[in-house]
Structure 1
Amino acid sequence: MNQKNQWTPLIIAILFGTCIGLTTLLIQEKNKVAENSYAAPVEKAAPSVVNIYTQVQAKNTPLQDNPLKDHSHLQTVNLGSGVIVSKNGFILTNHHVIQNAQRIVVGLHDERQIEAKLIGSDPSTDLAVLKIDEPNLTPIKLGSSHAISVGDKTLAIGNPFGIGQTVTSGIISAKGRNSIGLNTYENFIQTDAAINPGNSGGALINLQGELIGISSAIYSSSGGSQGIGFATPIDDAVQVMHDLIKHGRVVRAYLGMDAKKITSTMAKSLALPVEHGLIVSEITKESPADKAGIEIGDIIVKINNATSDNPFKTRNLIASMKPGTTISLLGYRGRQSYQANIKLETQPAMQSIDY
């Protein structure tokens, strides 16, 4: 073998090693850029987030016979956001964004503006579904709010103050916030990503660009972001959306009672047989609870063998069940325990009792 042929394998090995080294460096540099940038998830999700403009009848102006042709009697009163969740044009937003609107206009990421139809809204969760008939829409990829953890990085995309689409970053600060007093049914994701007026109905996404929540509200004394924002988990929002599309309203089960949390102080002062549970404070006539013989002053300690000591979680649990479901309830009347099987019914449209 001549000298040239002897060096050929070595040269090939050196070149191969160099290529591997350069490839590794490029991958490391790309990963480093990705770690310091949210551009990739924003690029995926931003085209799915829309601006929403609502109009109501101007004061002292009579409503026209054909308002779709003449909008001179309308005035723009609200700016918000929404998220395209299907190719056929369904959009998730907040109920308060479109409340009392005579006309709803959706502004797409590519600057198209389309009049939207209201499919339905649910004040109890502050969610609403709109529909636009338009080609070439970009629906967002749905994530799972059950898969998120406190401390996960998150991004909020919306239209704060009507200035245009804006992205803010933060983390998941808490899950399952349910005693804020904003909605009847609360199960909020809390985030410190800046959420301001106009962000309502916008997207809360993970770093894969997937929708994990619908931005709903801020906790603020000034009206601006103070690092405490709330979003409805996407798993909850999708259930509401399906009901609104199918029925025009959300179909919930109910017991027909209201109850308060028992505290240690209350248990001692009233000499209650237990220190934890719910004490029934109101019963709706002819409701499932009334038919089962539940009375004001009864103490509820378990539902379906799960401890019941949080009125908000219990309310959400009952509402998440289908009408016709039978639940097992363990309670006390005085110092005597009892067990009751109760068949849940459909919550009346104007039902004001919590459960």
Structure 2
Amino acid sequence: MKMKLSVLHAAILAAMLATSASPVQAGLPFLNSDKTEMPTLAPMLEKATPSVVHISVEGSREARQRIPEAFRDFFGQRGQGEQRQEQPFSGLGSGVIIDADKGYIVTNNHVVQDADKILIKLKDGRSFTAKKLGADPQSDIALLQIEAKNLVQIPLANSDKLRVGDYAIAIGNPFGLEQTVTSGIVSSLGRSGLNMDGFEDFIQTDAAINRGNSGGALVNLRGELIGINTAILGPNGGNVGIGFSIPSNMMKNLVDQIIEFGEIRRGSLGVRGGDVNSELTEALNLKVSRGAFVNEVLPDTAAATAGIKAGDVIISMNGNAIQSFNELRAKIATLGAGQKTELGLLRDGKERKVSVTLQELASGQVAANELHPMLQGATLNNSDKGVEITELAGGSVAEQVGLRQGDIITGVNRQRVANLAELRRILEGRQGVAALYIRRTNDDLYILLR
């Protein structure tokens, strides 16, 4: 009886039978246990799928409604054009267990943002309430933790070694359909431009990714994590064969910072520039068509210290090719402050390498409700005097308890606070009243969080 194989399986079978073909990266094929020589991904997936979890969230978000001029007096909004209300929401997504012993789960920030309750459901049917340890909205990564035994973690691959054409398998819960698996290939690398304010270095894949896949796993044929699925590009939010994943190396760099510091400490190179294009190549007689062109090196920065100059083209980072300025920006920012990296440069037609120790980018804001529910509506950032409230939503819980934009938290319950990591450690799991010691302009005061 003849069997109709999918395009992927047919390609796998051809690769197995062609004696002159070089082996693919994942060492195909996976065979059935009965040795029938039928290519299958089932043995790999049986090991990988228990590490992918279903996430459901509940919470509330501030909704703004435009009020017609004639009705503003009725709402007490004279002179204002909108009314703000808290509205409940719920949502679904996916996550990946990266540390079974500590219960660490990675997902997308947009899956759990503003969530008051995060419920994790494992493949074996067990359910747990998760705690959010930290998040980075600009790269769309969040780290959760559950207290559970007998978890299965996924091994991490080196995503810098990916090539266009490598097989890719997406595992997640699209539309709430738990443990759904789709297959495809890596369509492109170093994609950016979906969110101009974010740090993007996406893996593009044609493995079907739909709503609910967010935060799920993209794996290679060994069952190793190569990416965290995060976005789709298509009409009405449906799959058209263009999906995007955050590379596993980028995810790990961010998660390691959250675990160590309680926040993201972005790396900074200190250059301004743009992509290498055909016009630039012709004008400067460059020998490359891809890379990050350096227009300006800022003084007293990591780039200046390393000897990088305006006119240089950065073509590699730690031996891996750099395709664009956005790719360089994302890799530098997510690698982290204080980290060392080797950059490959093209200067005056000659290649050279420089070692750079990254400085810290003045960023790293976090939503304060991640630390305490009474801080909802405030955004915190490290300052040289403590933890500063850099933004405060009008009418928010944080404003109602007496906090103001520009306040600096310098202590909690007579314990000194120098940064976000210390504030998180003090507030984490605390019962009862937390007394914040606040510096406001030239005044000192206490604000109680109950």
Q: Same fold (TM over 0.5)?
A: yes
Counterpart residue number, 2:48: 45
Q: Could you tell me which amino acid in structure 2 is paired with residue 110 of structure 1? A: D
2:259 is the counterpart of 1:254: no
Cα distance in structure 1, aligned partners of 2:170 and 2:274: 35
Cα distance in structure 2, aligned partners of 1:329 and 1:138: 39
Q: Could you tell me which amino acid in structure 1 is paired with residue 120 of structure 2? A: V
Q: Could you tell me which amino acid in structure 2 is paired with residue 134 of structure 1? A: A
Among 281, 287, 295, the alignment partner of 1:280 is 295
Q: Secondary structure at the match of 2:212?
A: coil
Contact in 2 for aligned 1:157/1:167 (Cα 8 Å): yes
Report the CA distance between 1:272 and its aligned residue: 6.1
Cα distance in structure 2, aligned partners of 1:53 and 1:131: 14
Q: Secondary structure at the match of 2:312?
A: strand
Structure 1 residues 327 and 152: alpha-carbon distance in aligned structure 2, compared to 1, 3 A threshold: closer
Report the CA distance between 1:28 and its aligned residue: 9.0
2:109 is the counterpart of 1:95: yes
What is the root-mean-square deviation in Å for CA atoms of aligned residues?
A: 3.9
Structure 1 residues 147 and 265: alpha-carbon distance in aligned structure 2, compared to 1, 3 A threshold: closer
Alignment of 1:1-150 (within 5 A): 30-32=34-36, 34-35=38-39, 37-57=40-60, 75-87=88-100, 88-150=102-164
- Counting aligned pairs with the same residue, the percent is 38
Contact in 2 for aligned 1:300/1:308 (Cα 8 Å): no
Counterpart residue number, 1:230: 244
Q: Could you tell me which amino acid in structure 1 is paired with residue 311 of structure 2? A: I
When normalised by structure 1's length, the TM-score is 0.70
Higher relative contact order (CA 8 A, sep 6+): 1
Among 313, 317, 336, the alignment partner of 2:327 is 313
Cα distance in structure 2, aligned partners of 1:142 and 1:291: 34
Cα distance in structure 2, aligned partners of 1:145 and 1:249: 23
Report the CA distance between 1:130 and its aligned residue: 0.4
Gaps of 5+ in 1: 1-26, 61-72, 333-339
Alignment of 1:191-206 (within 5 A): 191-206=205-220
Counterpart residue number, 1:6: none
Counterpart residue number, 2:185: 171
Counterpart residue number, 1:323: 338
Counterpart residue number, 2:76: none
Report the CA distance between 1:95 and its aligned residue: 1.2
Contact in 1 for aligned 2:265/2:336 (Cα 8 Å): no
Counterpart residue number, 2:172: 158
Q: Secondary structure at the match of 1:214?
A: strand
Cα distance in structure 2, aligned partners of 1:57 and 1:266: 49
Report the CA distance between 1:301 and its aligned residue: 3.1
Larger Rg: 1
Q: Secondary structure at the match of 1:222?
A: helix
Structure 1 residues 163 and 259: alpha-carbon distance in aligned structure 2, compared to 1, 3 A threshold: same
Could you report, residue by residue, the CA deviation over 1:278-316 in whole angstroms, capped at 9, with x for unpaired residues? 253796x97656899999xx5333589999883123324
Report the CA distance between 1:51 and its aligned residue: 0.9
Cα distance in structure 1, aligned partners of 2:55 and 2:139: 19
Report the CA distance between 1:132 and its aligned residue: 0.3
Structure 1 residues 264 and 80: alpha-carbon distance in aligned structure 2, compared to 1, 3 A threshold: same
Contact in 2 for aligned 1:190/1:230 (Cα 8 Å): yes
Report the CA distance between 1:111 and its aligned residue: 2.2
Q: Secondary structure at the match of 2:228?
A: strand
Q: Secondary structure at the match of 2:94?
A: strand
Counterpart residue number, 1:300: 312
Higher helix proportion: 1
Could you report, residue by residue, the CA deviation over 1:111-166 in whole angstroms, capped at 9, with x for unpaired residues? 22211111111223211110001122222233333454433333211111123221
When normalised by structure 2's length, the TM-score is 0.56
Q: Secondary structure at the match of 1:151?
A: coil
Structure 1 residues 133 and 154: alpha-carbon distance in aligned structure 2, compared to 1, 3 A threshold: same
Q: How many residues align?
A: 301
Cα distance in structure 2, aligned partners of 1:39 and 1:161: 23
Q: Could you tell me which amino acid in structure 2 is paired with residue 220 of structure 1? A: G
Could you report, residue by residue, the CA deviation over 1:240-291 in whole angstroms, capped at 9, with x for unpaired residues? 21111111223232134432235443677xx7686976253796x9765689
